[in-house]
Structure 1
């Protein structure tokens, strides 16, 4: 078992945190507002965005969603129509199919029910588990990303390469995992959860902080 400690890498991160904390909190507040004030369509966009993110830049994935939204194609288009707008993300053909399947899953009586459906699942764990089991193209990472982006990220981790690399440097984990099985994902998430409690930085703020450190922006 790794003993928790604040090493030199943490000291560097802590300096950035002290400077960026107000901005991180503001961004997380914006995420919560998306859920509180958003419609079924708004929440559906956030879920669709996370289908596009695997092995693609988040900025490109969001640009693709923005382009699809302009003509309502994200809500009405066939896979062969959607794919024309997905050249800036990887695996565009599969992802176009996943977007259509997602829309069909989240439609009832001709209307999107994305927010209403997830609102009916009482806990974050239930929401995430349902996504992983039922939505093609989404693993724990993508499911966690979606939930964080709509204000449910206080106690879950988005274990992308930025985060995992920093967890090694912080000595939270010994090495980068070669593959991230569901079991290993949850184990590393628990280690990160304990570490965040130890250093007194909320988990969702730590995620944005480490992402900012690597990418230079607070995005989504």
Structure 2
């Protein structure tokens, strides 16, 4: 039996502030794809279209073989981790994770156990009753990751989730993401980042986005090395003007 791609963007067109964008992309099941590119290239817009927050003007979004074009965000088989973690300030860490299981927080004993185990998996055992304001930025992002993984969706989108963290903590969070992904089995990850080094050692492939188009998609080290593509080399600071 042929395995369906985890994600296909087929002729997706969208205009942002008069700038036309077109996305064509195929992502394999279980792939970790890092999306890099200059500011304004369309990285966040791309994720918003996949998640259903923005409707494309043309084209189709297919997830695991099912056409998701026009399907509301809440009904798409994916989770989204934002840069600002998107936690509810009035809720505890346990409750914020529990939202990933039940939006109304009506959790059974087994579901409460799942939420507690998710917090334990991200290194926050004992933090169940803490609210976001009582936690550091890294701890809040751990809660956001726990909530995403407890949802058990096959596709995970991350929009610069560790951008506000220092280099050492960012590497720690990426390692945590890698470990959570292994525990989850086959999970496909699309991660937008401004830091190409975040992809090294973690992402299987890198997609470089520029002016609303994918310039190149390929293995991480190959793409982040001297690629011969001027836009990529200029972004990475390896381009030598002739």
Q: TM-score, normalised by structure 2?
A: 0.24
More helix by share: 1
More strand by share: 2
Q: TM-score, normalised by structure 1?
A: 0.25
